[in-house]
Amino acid sequence: MGFVGDTVESIRSMQIRQVLTQIISLGMIVTSALIIWKGLIVFTGSESPVVVVLSGSMEPGFKRGDILFLHMSKDPIRTGEIVVFNVDGREIPIVHRVIKVHERQDTAEVDILTKGDNNFGDDRLLYAHGQLWLQRHHIMGRAVGYLPYVGWVTIIMTEKPFIKYLLIGALGLLVITSKD
């Protein structure tokens, strides 16, 4: 009997107890993934501890599809650091380098200007209309680690949802029909 035949046969022969076990093991996989992700959020202090680079604005350092590990500590932000920031009215966060910092004497408020290594000018054109500086609350984290290519998985899945559903379906079927 072929692979497909085996699969159909194993679905047909399932008992209620077996079904329950499968549901629980599926639930374990989903929840443990969630635990790891939420644990990372607590550990790094950043609301998204891992980001995928989507544009070429930091080339040749970071290319599209590379992933960055973020950390958000209380340490002050300094020039040269690569930060991930949100701009009001823009959905996707941006990963660029800090080129100017002005930190106040008493309040420790800070004005930050960023630029992509591969861009010609600074980021004021990307900021909200009339915004000259980023403040602390715009910053989601600073990049501390780097891994190439791995982010392509997410890029492909967001741009070709068909592949995502195919993958999820195949995995689900595999979990349900696995015999142990």
The answer to whether 40 contacts other proteins (rule: CB under 8 A) is no
Place of tokens 């823009």: 90
CB neighbour list of residue 55: distance below 8 Å, 6 or more residues apart: 64, 116
Count of residues that interact with other proteins, criterion CB under 8 A = 29
Report the nearest approach of other proteins to the CB of residue 91 (Å). 27
Residue 97 or 138 with smaller CB distance to other proteins: 97
The residue length of the chain stands at 180
Q: Burial level of 87, CB count in 10 A (0-12/13-18/19+)?
A: middle
Report the nearest approach of other proteins to the CB of residue 145 (Å). 5
Q: Pick one of 52, 53, 72, 82: the residue that binds other proteins (CB under 8 A).
A: 82
Which listed range, 13-21, 22-30, 46-54, 143-151, lies at the site for other proteins (CB under 8 A)?
Answer: 143-151
Q: Which residues ranging from 93 to 122 are in contact with other proteins (CB under 8 A)?
A: 97, 99-105, 108, 111, 117, 122
Residue type at 64 in one-letter notation = R
Q: Which residues ranging from 49 to 78 are in contact with other proteins (CB under 8 A)?
A: 60-62, 76, 78
Token pair recorded at residue 9: 């046969």
Q: How many Cβ atoms from other residues are within 10 Å of residue 114's Cβ? A: 26
